């Protein structure tokens, strides 16, 4: 049975408002962090009243957790796409380049996640344990097998992963500093070339 036209219209409006709230909250949280952000700021940025915000979400924390959960799905996709049957060095370099692209395409999301981790991961801690850790363990084990087979240089797989995160997400999390210090340079093109050289030299057997 089809829903009445009025119900369908309300549903579309609700979806649009929910999207507006999350988009506005992403701006506010990435700029001020969870502690510095307020529902009033989110409501103003979304162009909605505070009671309207609370119709869709129970509070600031519910909005923040929704954003973090959505972010984790997207953030982990490049790691899940590493192909065990692929050429190891090229798979790692593809991962590096995808993470760098994400720092350019999703700087607010990167800062949102960084702020949460800097606060001790109070809202996303369970997700780190139940989702991120098993995936990182699996990826580290794959890298270890490639190393043992002589297909990559001998490095610590976990620290390799941490280094990739540090050298790619830096460009989003510290964008204000990067833009000042690298003024006049094509930051992301230069970063892509440098990181390709860095990890290629590091990982070539």
Tens-digit pLDDT profile for residues 118-167: 889 888 888 899 999 999 999 999 999 999 999 999 999 999 999 999 99
Residue 123 has what pLDDT? 87
Q: If you average pLDDT over residues 114-121, what whole number do you get?
A: 88
- pTM here? 0.83
Residue 13 has what pLDDT? 84
- The C-alpha atoms of residue 156 and residue 161 are separated, in whole angstroms, by 9
Q: Which two tokens stand for residue 92?
A: 């790692």
* Neighbouring C-beta atoms of residue 198, cutoff 10 Å: 13
Q: Please, where are the H alpha helices in 50-87? A: 50-56, 60-80
CATH superfamily placement of domain 60-203: Tetracycline Repressor, domain 2 (1.10.357.10)
Q: If you average pLDDT over residues 101-113, what whole number do you get?
A: 90
User: Of the ranges 4-13, 78-87, 108-117, which one carries the lowest mean pLDDT score?
Assistant: 4-13
Q: If you average pLDDT over residues 51-74, what whole number do you get?
A: 91
Q: Please, where are the H alpha helices in the chain? A: 5-36, 39-46, 50-56, 60-80, 88-105, 107-118, 125-127, 133-148, 157-173, 175-181, 187-203
By CB atoms closer than 10 A (0-12, 13-18, 19+), residue 150 is exposed
* Neighbouring C-beta atoms of residue 83, cutoff 10 Å: 11
Residue 1 has what pLDDT? 47
Q: What is the mean pLDDT of the chain?
A: 91
Query: 1-57 architecture in CATH?
Result: Orthogonal Bundle (1.10)
pLDDT of 73 over the 90 cut: no
Residue 72 has what pLDDT? 84
Residue 126 has what pLDDT? 87
pLDDT of 19 over the 70 cut: yes
Q: Where are the domains of the chain?
A: 1-57, 60-203
pLDDT band at 10 (very low <50, low <70, confident <90, very high): low
Residue 74 has what pLDDT? 85
* Neighbouring C-beta atoms of residue 176, cutoff 10 Å: 8
Residue 185 has what pLDDT? 84
């Amino acid at each position: 049975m089809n829903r009445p036209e009025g119900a369908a219209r309300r549903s579309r409006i609700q979806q649009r408002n929910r999207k507006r709230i999350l988009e506005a909250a992403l701006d506010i949280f990435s700029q001020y962090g969870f502690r510095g952000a307020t529902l009033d700021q989110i409501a103003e940025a979304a162009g909605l009243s505070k009671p309207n915000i609370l119709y869709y979400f129970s509070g600031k924390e519910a909005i923040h957790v929704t954003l973090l959960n959505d972010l984790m799905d997207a953030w982990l996709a490049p790691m899940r796409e590493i192909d065990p049957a692929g050429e190891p060095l090229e798979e790692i370099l593809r991962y590096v380049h995808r993470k760098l692209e994400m720092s350019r395409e999703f700087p607010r999301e990167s800062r949102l996640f960084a702020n949460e981790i800097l606060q001790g991961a109070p809202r996303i801690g369970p997700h780190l344990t139940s989702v991120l850790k098993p995936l990182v363990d699996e990826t580290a084990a794959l890298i270890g097998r490639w190393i043992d087979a002589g297909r990559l240089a001998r490095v610590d797989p976990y620290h390799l992963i941490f280094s990739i995160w540090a050298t790619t997400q830096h460009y989003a999390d510290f964008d204000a500093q990067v833009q000042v210090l690298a003024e006049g340079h094509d930051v992301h093109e230069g970063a892509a070339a440098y990181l390709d050289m860095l990890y290629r030299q590091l990982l070539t057997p």
